[in-house]
Amino acid sequence: MKNAIRVSCTRRNLKVVRDFVSEYLSTYKLSDLHINQIVLAVDEVVANLIIHANGEDENKFLNLTLDVDNQTIEIEIEDNSTISYVPSTFRDPDLQEYIRTGRKGGVGMALVNRIMDRVEFVTTGTHNVCRLYKRIS
C-alpha cells in the first residue's frame, strides 16, 4: 500500500511528517521501537532538506512517499532545491572530538545510516531524491 504527502519547507511540518509516517507504519506489525527508529530517520532527512537544502522557504515543497514492497519499507523524499544536498560526502563523526569541543549537530546522518538498511541520494539538475529502505519481517 503506497501513501504520499506533500509539505512546504517549514520546520512546523516536521510533526506533520512524523505523524504521517508513524500512522502509516502502525498498519504493519512492527514494534514501537522499529516504528520510532524509522520515524526518527525520516525526520532527520526531512529536517536536513527543509533547513539546509531549502532554507526553510515555505514556497518550496517536499514530496514524501511510503510504500512496502516485498517485505521492505521504501521511503522516498523529493524536492526541487537549487542547492544540492549531498550527504554522500558524509563521514562518521568523531564523537569523542564532538564531546571534547562541545560541538552540536552533525550526527544525524550517522544515525540514519545506522537505522536504515540502505540510504540513497540522487540529484538530477534541481531534482533531489532521497530513498530509505528498511527490511521488515
Residue boundaries of the structural domains of the chain = 3-135
pLDDT at 103: 55
- What is the pLDDT, as a whole number, of residue 137? 76
Burial class (CB in 10 A: 0-12, 13-18, 19+), 128: buried
Mean pLDDT of all residues in 83-111: 59
Beta-bridge mates of residue 68 = 73
Q: Do 46 and 17 meet the contact criterion of CB atoms below 8 Å apart? A: yes
The predicted model scores a pTM of 0.85
More confidently predicted of 122 and 23: 23
Where do runs of H (alpha helix) occur along 53-130? 95-101, 108-115
Kindly report, residue by residue over 124-133, the tens digit of the pLDDT: 888 889 999 9
Query: In the predicted model, what is the mean pLDDT of the chain?
Result: 87
CATH level 2 (architecture), domain 3-135: 2-Layer Sandwich (3.30)
Mean per-residue pLDDT, 77-102 = 64
Q: What is the mean pLDDT of residues 90-102?
A: 55
Q: Identify which has the larger pLDDT, 82 or 40.
A: 40
Q: Give the pLDDT band (50/70/90) at residue 88.
A: very low
User: Comparing 137 with 84, which gets the higher pLDDT?
Assistant: 137
